[in-house]
A and B are shown apart, each in its own frame.
Chain A
Amino acid sequence: MADDRMERLRREGRIAIVGASLAGLRAAETLRAEGFTGELTLIGDEPYEPYDRPPLSKGVLMGLASPEHTDLPQRWEIDAKWRLGVAATGLDLPGRRVLLADGDDVEYDRLLIATGTRARPWPNEAEAALDGVLVLRTRDDAVRLQQRLKAGPRRVFVIGAGFAGCEIASACREKGIAVTVAERAGAPLVGALGGVIGAVSADLMTENGVDLRTHVTVTALEGDSVGRVRAVHLSDESVVEADVVVVSLGSLRNTEWLTGSGLGAGPRGIACDAGCRAFDFRGIVTDDVFVAGDVARSPHALFGYQFLSLEHWGNAVAQAETAAHNMICLPADRRPHLWMPAFWSSQFGVNIKSVGVPPMGDDLMIVQGSLAERRFVGVYGHQGRMVAAVSFDNTRWLEFYQRQIERGAPFPVEFPTVDRRPEGRQPVAADFPDPSLPTHAPGVTLSGYSPADQQLVFTPARH
């Protein structure tokens, strides 16, 4: 019986994918590669075919790559109906329909939600509307920012020193543009990597000529008489003149369209099980709605089965593949999504890569190289276990630490390694900010055990 139904679904079922970016595309390809021959619809609010985002804050800003040439390669003929440039506005769960902004709807037998995130806008709408105030998330954003940088601004002001903010600052310096970065915490990248590594990043920025302001928040953006931004006011009462302001305060998960749908969706994302099946708000798992990519929160066996939200390129690919597989297979053949969190960044000529969940770490050990040389591997520990590792210009070793984390290897690291320095013999506090304080874009968020968590609301501090 069940076999017959699955066969029919695979042959002539209807699958809708909401979100036509990396996760949506990879899921579509996997569905076809695994033999799904039914009707496939891809819905995306941007007018473009799927493109790659990592280059937007790197090569594109530096002028090394054109934003139009970041299309994702399509590895498999997906033969889909594309509904691009039209947003999904609602979900009729019992009726199995996705409602679209143009009034149309798309019926499905299986649904994949991969709506991802968007840039968190500047909260003051009038200030956000000033000419020269930008965010960076989409291809259009990148085109706008690239044009501003080309025009030779006197100073660029970046609000927020997460990975994106640092990469934007790096691109500016590469092009010889003066840049100020303001960060609420004591150093860049603290939300993602903690204060010890953040201090290294701070030195790197300062040495490369970035005007880095820490422990400050932006209190106001000031415009001139014709509505162009001209200055940024800071909580320490200083004023910095700038003609481009990039708001880089992390991202918001695109879940508003699901409000009232009955799914366990909220500001932290959409909860799903390890098999990528979405939970409804009561904590009951659905059988026909799946989630993948930045918008998903799923429990991870390695990290105490807490729900993890991962804004990582590799996670989007792996989760999309697992979700697609599970959408069209019998229950016994389902696979869990057990991806090891990993991300990379390149800034100021340094390659940064991390595996595991650094913010879970209490302590940090520099097991290879040295912080002062900015070439090192650091390992994060939590309750006697290795939970993450980070490398600056030392990527080739990380695979080893990934395996150690997978095995729950003990922390502190007792064994000797090549290039262990005296500074690496003892753990130090990793110095993450108080988790109850909002930080921007930690990249990996442990988001608790509740599948229907809707409590967290971000409010930028006001002084």
Chain B
Amino acid sequence: MTTKVSLVHQITDFTNRADPYPVYAELRKTPVLHEQDGGPYVISSYWDIESLLHDPRISSDASNLAAAGYDPLGEAEQTGLPPSFLRLDPPEHDRLRRIANSAFGPPQCPHRVEDMRDGMAAIVSELIDGFGDAREIDLVDQFAYPFPVTVICRLLGVPREDEPRFRAWVDPLVASLDPDTRQGSDPEFQKAAQEARMQLGMFLAELVEQRSKEPRDDLLSDLVNSHGPDGAMTMMEVLSTSVLLLIAGHETTVNLITNGMLTLLRHPDVLERLRQEPELSVRIVEELLRYEPPVQMVPQRTCIADIEVRGVTIPKGSRIWLVLAAGNRDPERFENPDTFDPDRQDIEHLGFGSGIHSCFGAPLARLEAQIALSELARRMDNPRLVQDPPPYRQNAVLRGPRHLDIAFDGLR
């Protein structure tokens, strides 16, 4: 090769979206990659990522990242809403996450997710019934998007019919999570993201206001009325937490389900096994989180001290990208990493991250994907891909197909 092609650029380059894994393999050859001054340190090996996710010298605080010189979302968050716990360090992170968790998971709320199982199954049945007599569908628009959105709306207590309103705000916000430098430096793009976050916050503010007066059995009510040992969230904290949960609560799951169906259609033997034994969905979803994780990387961390990784000193103040999807295919960690194998026993993937910021909604996402995939497998007769690879979304971080056309012979 005569000219050195920027690997960092190749990660975000749209032409690699359908199959970024060769780029990741290239990346792992330089496990701590730093191409230019001021650019990120890109970490791509499993053990390095895993250890940095537990390293207290790594900050998720938006203000540290802004000081490091580049942060699309950080600016988007300077819109009046305080940063969500995703973009905070302890102790603020811990406090907000504990309060949010007290309305969502064990020990205070151990049944919240499990209690949604029947409701989820009903939504899935309804959506599949909705395919009607069609012999070809777009899985994204007809299933993988509406399902998790309906679930997260129900969980939070956001009226489902408002979806078209907030979708217009969610899209630019999600796009702003893309570390593509071209977009990040585009002021128009930034402004749109800021505007969207504010609009979404205002939309939720109305609902939160309402729930503080008349609480219902939903997360918004619990968030605004929480008075546990950590005290209450301020109104602004409730809003930024709700915005976070609303966005994170569906965008990633859409991709998990779509990537999942795409992978199954590429592995018809596994799809057939799933049809016969729905409980295999548990293993399939775990392997999917390794093989095609919906969050490909964590591009929003900075180090607050000099840190040595594999003999390379990453100076204090540097930005770090943790490429989870590359770590998930690291041959130092997983045997035959490029094989999709739901029978894999050793499956401690990085799909949900690790450490204090590990995915808050993981139990919900797992259940949604398990129900979705097992039902699609059970009900669609002879499903096959119309186009492989399918068209992808722009986003390199939250990676997934924009459409997934599937042909089939009917419903069972």
Please tell me if B56 contacts chain A, counting CB pairs below 8 Å. Answer: yes
Question: In the complex, A397→B304 CA distance in Å?
Answer: 16
Contact B54 A418 (CB under 8 A): no
Contact B305 A368 (CB under 8 A): no
Q: Specify which of B57, B94, B355 is in contact with A417 (CB 8 Å cutoff).
A: B57
B contacts with A: majority SS: loop
Chain A residues with CB under 8 Å of B358's CB are 396
Contact B89 A397 (CB under 8 A): no
Question: In the complex, A417→B356 CA distance in Å?
Answer: 14
Check A418/B89 contact, CB under 8 A, given A367-B56, A375-B94, A400-B56. yes
Chain B residues with CB under 8 Å of A403's CB are 51
Question: In the complex, A416→B61 CA distance in Å?
Answer: 14
Contact B54 A419 (CB under 8 A): no
What is the 8 Å Cβ interface bit string for chain A, positions 411-424, against chain B (1 contact, 0 not)?
00001111100000
Check A399/B304 contact, CB under 8 A, given A417-B57, A418-B59, A419-B90. no
Please tell me if B22 contacts chain A, counting CB pairs below 8 Å. Answer: no
Chain A residues with CB under 8 Å of B89's CB are 418-419
Please tell me if A293 contacts chain B, counting CB pairs below 8 Å. Answer: no
Question: In the complex, A164→B57 CA distance in Å?
Answer: 34
Contact B304 A400 (CB under 8 A): no
Question: In the complex, A397→B51 CA distance in Å?
Answer: 10
Q: Specify which of B61, B90, B355 is in contact with A368 (CB 8 Å cutoff).
A: B90
Chain B residues with CB under 8 Å of A416's CB are 57, 304-305
Question: In the complex, A433→B188 CA distance in Å?
Answer: 65
Chain A residues with CB under 8 Å of B54's CB are 396-397, 399-400
Contact A397 B94 (CB under 8 A): no
What is the 8 Å Cβ interface bit string for chain B, positions 26-69, against chain A (1 contact, 0 not)?
00000000000000000000000001001111110100000000
Total number of residue pairs linking A and B with CB closer than 8 Å: 46
Closest Cβ neighbor of B55 among chain A residues: A400
Please tell me if B91 contacts chain A, counting CB pairs below 8 Å. Answer: yes
Q: Specify which of A373, A377, A396, A418 is in contact with B304 (CB 8 Å cutoff).
A: A418
Contact A417 B51 (CB under 8 A): no
Please tell me if A369 contacts chain B, counting CB pairs below 8 Å. Answer: yes
Contact A400 B51 (CB under 8 A): yes
Chain B residues with CB under 8 Å of A415's CB are 57, 305-306
Contact B56 A397 (CB under 8 A): yes
In the complex, what's the smallest C-beta–C-beta distance from B107 to chain A, in angstroms? 8
Chain A residues with CB under 8 Å of B56's CB are 367-368, 377, 397, 400, 417-419
A contacts with B: majority SS: mixed
In the complex, what's the smallest C-beta–C-beta distance from A126 to chain B, in angstroms? 43
Closest Cβ neighbor of A399 among chain B residues: B54
In the complex, what's the smallest C-beta–C-beta distance from B317 to chain A, in angstroms? 11
| Number of residues from B at the complex interface, CB < 8 A | 18
Contact A396 B355 (CB under 8 A): yes
Question: In the complex, A350→B89 CA distance in Å?
Answer: 21
Question: In the complex, A377→B304 CA distance in Å?
Answer: 18
In the complex, what's the smallest C-beta–C-beta distance from A120 to chain B, in angstroms? 33
Closest Cβ neighbor of B306 among chain A residues: A415
Chain A residues with CB under 8 Å of B90's CB are 368-369, 418-419
Contact A369 B305 (CB under 8 A): no
What is the 8 Å Cβ interface bit string for chain B, positions 74-114, against chain A (1 contact, 0 not)?
00000000000000011100100000000000000000000
Chain A residues with CB under 8 Å of B304's CB are 416-418
Question: In the complex, A396→B358 CA distance in Å?
Answer: 10
Chain B, range 142-158, C-beta contacts under 8 Å to A: none
What is the 8 Å Cβ interface bit string for chain A, positions 367-407, against chain B (1 contact, 0 not)?
11100010101000000000000000000110110010000
Contact A419 B305 (CB under 8 A): no
In the complex, what's the smallest C-beta–C-beta distance from B398 to chain A, in angstroms? 24
Contact A396 B57 (CB under 8 A): no
Contact A419 B57 (CB under 8 A): no
In the complex, what's the smallest C-beta–C-beta distance from B362 to chain A, in angstroms? 14
Closest Cβ neighbor of A417 among chain B residues: B56
Closest Cβ neighbor of B94 among chain A residues: A375
Query: Which of A369, A399, A415, A418 lies at the interface centre, i.e. has the most chain B CB atoms within 10 A of its CB?
Result: A418
Question: In the complex, A451→B1 CA distance in Å?
Answer: 62
Question: In the complex, A353→B305 CA distance in Å?
Answer: 25
In the complex, what's the smallest C-beta–C-beta distance from B94 to chain A, in angstroms? 7
Chain B, range 202-226, C-beta contacts under 8 Å to A: none
Chain A residues with CB under 8 Å of B58's CB are 418
Chain A residues with CB under 8 Å of B51's CB are 399-400, 403
Query: Which of B51, B56, B58, B306 lies at the interface centre, i.e. has the most chain A CB atoms within 10 A of its CB?
Result: B56
In the complex, what's the smallest C-beta–C-beta distance from A346 to chain B, in angstroms? 11
Query: Which of A367, A375, A396 lies at the interface centre, i.e. has the most chain B CB atoms within 10 A of its CB?
Result: A396
Question: In the complex, A415→B61 CA distance in Å?
Answer: 18
Question: In the complex, A373→B304 CA distance in Å?
Answer: 24
Chain B residues with CB under 8 Å of A397's CB are 54, 56, 355-356
In the complex, what's the smallest C-beta–C-beta distance from A390 to chain B, in angstroms? 15
In the complex, what's the smallest C-beta–C-beta distance from B60 to chain A, in angstroms? 8
Chain B residues with CB under 8 Å of A373's CB are 91
Question: In the complex, A369→B356 CA distance in Å?
Answer: 14
Closest Cβ neighbor of B356 among chain A residues: A396
Chain B residues with CB under 8 Å of A400's CB are 51, 54-56
Query: Which of B90, B305, B306, B358 lies at the interface centre, i.e. has the most chain A CB atoms within 10 A of its CB?
Result: B90
In the complex, what's the smallest C-beta–C-beta distance from B253 to chain A, in angstroms? 24
Chain A residues with CB under 8 Å of B356's CB are 396-397
Question: In the complex, A398→B51 CA distance in Å?
Answer: 11
In the complex, what's the smallest C-beta–C-beta distance from A270 to chain B, in angstroms? 34
In the complex, what's the smallest C-beta–C-beta distance from A398 to chain B, in angstroms? 8
In the complex, what's the smallest C-beta–C-beta distance from B113 to chain A, in angstroms? 20
In the complex, what's the smallest C-beta–C-beta distance from A163 to chain B, in angstroms? 21
- Beyond A419-B89, A419-B91, list 5 extra A-B contacts (CB 8 Å): A415-B305, A417-B56, A417-B305, A418-B56, A418-B90
24 contacts between A and B (CB under 8 A): A369-B90, A369-B91, A375-B91, A375-B94, A396-B355, A396-B358, A397-B56, A397-B356, A399-B54, A400-B55, A400-B56, A403-B51, A415-B305, A416-B57, A416-B304, A417-B57, A418-B59, A418-B61, A418-B89, A418-B90, A418-B304, A419-B89, A419-B90, A419-B91
Sorted nearest first, the 6 A-B pairs with minimum C-beta distance are: A417-B56, A419-B90, A418-B89, A415-B305, A399-B54, A400-B54
